[in-house]
């Protein structure tokens, strides 16, 4: 029985095979024939599914599934970014998007504000940590997923979005109309916030030890670090801690620029791939805002990619002491290739990178602990945290990130009834939904407070720098 291959799919095969033949022009005709037969197999399969499967299947859905299947055979870092995901992907890379500027979570099917971002429309409107968002544009948010909420909160700059919120520990609904702006997500944070909610980068004023935490490497990270170091220098900085723990990476160019801030000369990183010529990046003397200031870089098993480039560079040039745990081991470079005139994209691994000493960073399948991969702490400065301690560290840092603004700081046009709202996050929102229980609240108030979390890795860094500064005097 003759098989009827759809013209559009057949045209696709002929086009792809034509391109494949061009790429493999120097190979044997048998190799080209194999390509043709394999692509024809794919088209025949798609045709059979489309015509004979038990129910209708969207053709684009099939194509995207096929693309994703191809990429899954490569490595964990190559992926397809669909038209539905492209906007969020670009926002993540750029650390910018159109929105109101809040971090949200889903607490038992109810949207809750983790924290507003300083200086954003939500911050100025009086949205507080712990607020429950009960309605968006008049529609109840109960049962919404985070994706549902983010999709409704983001939008074109200058457009308005209406929220109904309930402050933690209260029951009164407050309606807010907030105008969206271009939101910049800060990637450079300090240890604690000052009185104006900005980050205070001076960790230890007595010994003048600064602390800069980098959560990702975006286009603005180098500029933000330079700004932070300038503030620290104005306060007579003597020692610096760069915290790259839990940093998953980001842009290669950003990692190079950040490394260039601290290394006076020499190799920063090099890359090379099967079809990519070797590229090298070297440091420039004129980019040093903290020259001669002793440094510690904190890393852990979740520090990856761009954060490994920076920590390896500073370690190989003896610019900083690396403390904490061995890093993740992601030494591959992904290029973002636009598809469909930018409506979708392909994130494809095209090269690997090497640290300045020429050694490998990537942890390949089957790699053992004694193999060469990742970035190891300097001798005598390894301190691995257990899983429970890691959770405690994450919660402690998340608590420090929260903006607990007083109502005196918000715009005057905000409802005066907001003056008595609480700013504490936690479980107050879910209690308010079910009504107040004064006896239960009183019992909670009598409970002893948990002891403050001690960050042993950070403590080790401070002790080391304090001793180094004492020796230098």
DSSP summary character for residue 378: P
- Quickly count: other Cβ atoms within 10 Å of residue 102's Cβ: 27
- List 360's β-bridge partners, or say none: 354
Q: Which of 376, 378, 345 is nearest to 361 (CA)?
A: 376
> Residue 39, CB half-sphere, CA atoms under 13 Å: how many?
19
CA quadruple 85, 87, 88, 94: dihedral sign: positive
Q: Is 154 a catalytic residue?
A: no
Q: Is 305 a catalytic residue?
A: yes
**CA-CA distance, 325 to 323, in Å (whole number)?**
7
DSSP string for 74-107: T-TT-EEE-HHHHHHHHHHHHTEEEE--EEEEEE
**CA-CA distance, 188 to 394, in Å (whole number)?**
16
Structural contact between residues 383 and 321, judged by C-beta atoms closer than 8 angstroms: no
Given the residues 78, 79, 303, 305, select the one marked as catalytic.
305
Ranges of H-type helices in 299-411: 306-316, 387-401
Given the residues 220, 316, 401, 455, select the one marked as catalytic.
316
- List 353's β-bridge partners, or say none: 271
Q: How far is CA 261 from the centre of its chain?
A: 21
Q: Is 278 a catalytic residue?
A: no
Given the residues 243, 303, 307, 330, select the one marked as catalytic.
330
Catalytic residues, by residue number, are 305, 316, 330
């Amino acid at each position: 029985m003759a098989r009827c291959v759809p013209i559009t799919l057949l045209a696709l095969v002929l086009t792809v095979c034509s391109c494949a033949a061009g790429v493999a022009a120097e190979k044997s005709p048998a190799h080209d024939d194999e390509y043709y037969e394999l692509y024809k197999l794919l088209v025949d399969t798609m045709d059979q599914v489309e015509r004979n499967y038990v129910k209708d299947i969207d053709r684009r859905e099939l194509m995207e599934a096929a693309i994703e299947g191809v990429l899954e055979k490569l490595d964990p870092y190559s992926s397809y970014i669909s038209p539905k995901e492209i906007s969020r992907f670009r926002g993540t890379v750029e650390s910018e998007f159109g929105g109101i500027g809040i971090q949200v979570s889903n607490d038992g099917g109810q949207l809750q504000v983790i924290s507003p971002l300083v200086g954003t429309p939500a911050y100025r409107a009086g949205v507080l940590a712990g607020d429950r968002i009960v309605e968006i544009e008049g529609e109840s948010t109960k049962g919404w997923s985070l994706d549902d909420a983010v999709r409704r909160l983001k939008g074109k700059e200058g457009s308005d979005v209406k929220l109904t919120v309930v402050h933690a520990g209260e029951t009164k609904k407050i309606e807010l109309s907030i105008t969206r702006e271009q939101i910049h997500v800060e990637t450079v944070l300090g240890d604690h916030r000052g009185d104006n909610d900005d980050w205070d980068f001076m960790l230890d004023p007595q010994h003048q030890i600064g602390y800069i935490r980098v959560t990702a490497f975006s286009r603005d990270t180098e500029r933000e670090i330079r700004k932070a170091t300038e503030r620290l220098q104005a306060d007579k900085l003597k020692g610096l801690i760069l915290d790259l723990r839990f940093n998953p990476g980001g842009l290669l160019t950003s990692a190079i620029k950040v490394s260039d801030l601290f290394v006076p000369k020499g190799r920063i990183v090099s890359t090379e791939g099967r079809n990519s010529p070797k590229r090298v990046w070297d440091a420039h003397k004129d980019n040093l805002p903290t020259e001669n200031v002793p440094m510690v870089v904190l890393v852990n098993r979740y520090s990856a990619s761009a954060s490994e480039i920076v920590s390896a560079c500073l370690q190989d040039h003896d610019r900083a002491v690396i403390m904490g745990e061995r890093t993740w081991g992601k030494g591959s470079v992904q290029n973002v290739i636009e598809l469909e005139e930018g409506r979708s994209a392909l994130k494809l691994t095209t090269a690997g990178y090497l640290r300045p000493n020429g050694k490998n960073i990537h942890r390949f399948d089957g790699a053992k602990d004694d193999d060469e991969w990742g970035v190891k702490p300097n001798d005598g400065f390894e301190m691995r945290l257990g899983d429970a301690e890691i959770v405690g560290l994450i919660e402690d840092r998340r608590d420090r990130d929260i903006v607990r603004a007083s109502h005196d700081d918000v715009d005057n046009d905000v409802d005066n009834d907001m003056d008595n709202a609480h700013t504490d996050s936690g479980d107050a929102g879910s209690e308010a939904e079910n009504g107040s229980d004064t006896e239960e609240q009183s019992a909670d108030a009598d409970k002893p407070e948990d002891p403050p979390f001690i960050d042993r890795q950070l403590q080790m860094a401070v002790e080391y720098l304090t001793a180094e500064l004492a020796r230098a005097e």
